[in-house]
Amino acid sequence: MDLRLNTSNANQTSELVNAMNYDPELARDVQEGLKQTPKRISSKYFYDGAGSKLFQQIMELPEYYPTRTEFKILEEQQAEISRFFGLSDFFHLVELGAGDGLKTKILLRQLLHMKADFEYVPVDISGDILKLLDSSLKTELPALKTDSFTGDYFKALHWLQKNKEGRKVVLFLGSNIGNFEDGGDLEFLQEIRKYLNPEDKVLVGFDLRKDPRTIRQAYDDAAGVTAAFNLNLLKRLNRELGADFNLNQFEHFTDYDPLSGVVKSYIVSKKQQTVTFSALNHSISFAAWEAIHTENSHKYTPVQIEELGEKAGLKTEQFFTDEKHYFADVLFRVI
C-alpha cells in the first residue's frame, strides 16, 4: 500500500487538523450568523494573517482615500493636535488598536519634540504586532516611555484604570469607529467614557460623508483587492472550521447608501448550494444570489459626530480635517 499523501490530500489533512483545534467563539458566531436571515458574519473575522496583509494593500489603493487623508491631517496638524492634548501635566497616551503605529509615530515625535511628559500605551489584540511596534519604537524613538497591553479594548481600559493613575488621552484612529453595527459606535464611546475621568481626552478618526461615488469606489477597487479581502473570510472558514466553500461560486458585492451613510459589504452566493463545516458537523444552504452581510462602514456628518459625543458624555473640542473635508480626527473632552 502506498502511504504517501498527494499534495491535495496533504492540504486537506492539514486543514482538518487546523479545523479540529478550532476557535469556539469563531465557530459559535459563524454558526449563529449563518442561521439568521439575512445571513451575517462579523467583519472582526476579516483579520487573520492573510486578511491583515490584504488590508495593508487596501490602504495603499488609489481609490481608498481614508488612510492617506488621515495621515496628511496628522502630518500637517501635528503641533496643534498635540497642544490640544494639554501638555502642562503628565498623561498616558493610550492607543486602542495600535497596529503598526505608523500614523501615531507622527504624534509621538511631535510630543517628544514639544517636551511633553507622557507615556505611550499601545493596546492591540495581537501580541505579535505589539512586539514589532515595541522594537521599532526602541530604535526610532529611544527617549519614549512605553508600556503596552495585549488584549481587547475594555480589558485594557479596566487594566489602565486599576494600574495607571493620572490623566489619559485615548486615541482611536483610522475610522474603525465606522465598522460597528448600527448604534454600536455610541455604545463603544459610552463604554470608553466609563473608564475615563473629567478632563481626559479622546481623539477619534471619522470618515466623513462625501460624493457617494467616491465612497463606493473606495470599497470596490478596480484591482479587486477589497473583493479578495472580503472573500478571504471564506478561505479562513475553510481552513479553520473545515468548511468547503468554493470561492468561484461566491462573489464580493458592496454598495453605499447616501441616506443612511453606510457602505454595506456582502458575499453573494452565485447559485443554490450547500456548504458543509466538517469541524462542526454542520451544513448551511444558500439560495441562488443569497447574500452574507460581512461589513458596515459608516460615514458621518459633523453634526452626527457632535451628537454622538454628547450622548456618550464627550464634548467636541476640535475637528482636525483636510481641505476636501473627506476625513476628520475629532478631539473630545470627557465631561
- What is the binding site for ligand AVI (CB under 6 A)? 58, 66, 174-176, 178-179, 219, 226, 295, 297
* Nearest CB to ligand AVI, comparing residues 179 and 278: 179
Shortest Cβ distance from residue 219 to ligand AVI (Å)? 5
Shortest Cβ distance from residue 189 to ligand AVI (Å)? 16
* Nearest CB to ligand AVI, comparing residues 82 and 297: 297
SS3 at position 130: helix
* Nearest CB to ligand AVI, comparing residues 241 and 263: 263
Shortest Cβ distance from residue 204 to ligand AVI (Å)? 12
Shortest Cβ distance from residue 73 to ligand AVI (Å)? 15
Contact yes or no for 80/333 (Cβ under 8 A): no
* Nearest CB to ligand AVI, comparing residues 168 and 298: 298
* Nearest CB to ligand AVI, comparing residues 95 and 295: 295
Q: How far apart (Å, rounded) are the C-alpha atoms in residues 99 and 103?
A: 10
* Nearest CB to ligand AVI, comparing residues 99 and 309: 99
Shortest Cβ distance from residue 247 to ligand AVI (Å)? 18
Cβ contacts of residue 11 below 8 Å, gap of 6+?
Answer: none
* Nearest CB to ligand AVI, comparing residues 104 and 226: 226
Cβ contacts of residue 202 below 8 Å, gap of 6+?
Answer: 169, 170, 171, 172, 189, 192, 196, 314, 331, 332, 334
Shortest Cβ distance from residue 298 to ligand AVI (Å)? 8
Q: How far apart (Å, rounded) are the C-alpha atoms in residues 158 and 162?
A: 6
- Residue nearest to ligand AVI according to CB distances in the complex: 297
Shortest Cβ distance from residue 292 to ligand AVI (Å)? 15
* Nearest CB to ligand AVI, comparing residues 18 and 176: 176
Could you tell me how many helices (H) and strands (E) the chain has, helices first?
11, 14
* Cell numbers standing for residue 47: 483579520
Long-range contacts of 253-261 (CB under 8 A, 24+ apart): 253/291, 254/216, 254/219, 254/220, 254/226, 254/230, 255/216, 256/212, 256/215, 256/216, 256/219, 256/299, 258/209, 258/212, 261/209, 261/298, 261/299, 261/300, 261/301, 261/304
Q: How many residues does the chain have?
A: 335
According to DSSP, the residues that pair with 265 across neighbouring strands are: 254, 295
Q: How far apart (Å, rounded) are the C-alpha atoms in residues 53 and 44?
A: 15
Q: How far apart (Å, rounded) are the C-alpha atoms in residues 79 and 75?
A: 9
CA angle centred on 59, ends 55 and 65, rounded to 5°:
140
Shortest Cβ distance from residue 307 to ligand AVI (Å)? 21
